[in-house]
Amino acid sequence: MRLVVLLLTAWVAVGCTPASNTASAKGGGGTSATPTPSATAVTPNAVVVAHVDGDTLKVNIDGVTETVRLIGIDTPETKKPGTPVECFGKEASAHLAALVPQGMPVRLERDVEERDRYGRLLVYLYRATDGLFVNLAMVTDGFAAQLTIPPNVAHVDEFRQAAAEAREAGRGLWGSCGGAHSPT
C-alpha cells in the first residue's frame, strides 16, 4: 500500500495523468501503448546521439549525454565482453538505429527504477515525431525478446503478447535463430 501511495505521489508530482501520458505505437504492428501509473515521464527534450546495440543507446538530455537501456526487452548480444556476437544481434542493432537514427528527438519515460546496476537510465522510448513506442516495436518486429525485471512492469502484458505473436509468425530472430541468445 505504501508503494502505491509513493508511486501515485511521484506520478502527480511530475504532472502526469493517465490521459496526458499516453502514446500510440504507430507502425511496429499498430498496437496502442498506454502507460500505467507506475511509468513516469523523464523528459521530452532528448535526442539520440549514438547506438550501443539493439537495446541500449546514448541520448542527449538537455546537454547531458546518458546511456539508456530499453526496459522490458532484450536483444541478442553484440558487445558483451567474453560473449560471442549472437544470432540476429547485428540486425537488432541496425533495426534500433533505423527506428531512432542519430539526431532524432525522442521522449523518455521511466518505470519504478531509474537506473540499472550498470548506471544506465532505464526507459521506455518513444519517437517524438510520431509517438512510436520503440521498445514495443523492437519486440513486435521480431528484433527483441521480452525481458521482465520487476519492479519495472508497466508494459509487461504488451511485450508478452507482441513476443508471442512475433515468435508464432517467425518474424526476425524467431525465424532466423529460433529465439534470442542463440550463437551465430
* Whole-structure pTM value: 0.76
**Domain range annotation of the chain:** 2-176
107 an active-site residue? no
pLDDT at position 85 is: 83
CATH code linked to domain 2-176: 2.40.50.90
At a CB cut-off of 8 Å and minimum separation 6, what does 56 contact?
67, 68, 69, 70, 120
* Phi and psi angles of residue 37, each rounded to the nearest 5 degrees, phi first: -60, -15
pLDDT at position 80 is: 83
77 an active-site residue? yes
Q: Which of 66, 77, 91, 158 is catalytic?
A: 77
pLDDT one digit per residue (tens) for the chain, 184 residues: 333 333 333 332 333 322 233 333 333 333 334 444 456 666 667 999 999 999 999 999 999 999 999 999 999 998 888 888 888 999 999 999 999 999 999 999 999 999 999 999 999 999 999 999 999 999 999 999 999 999 999 999 999 999 999 999 999 999 988 767 665 5
pLDDT at position 84 is: 84
Q: Which of 120, 127, 167, 171 is catalytic?
A: 120
Q: Which of 66, 69, 158, 167 is catalytic?
A: 69
115 an active-site residue? no
pLDDT at position 83 is: 83
Asked if 50 and 58 touch (Cβ cutoff 8 Å), the reply is yes
Nearest in space to 171 (alpha carbons), one of 159, 160, 162: 162
Q: Which three cell numbers stand for residue 61?
A: 538530455
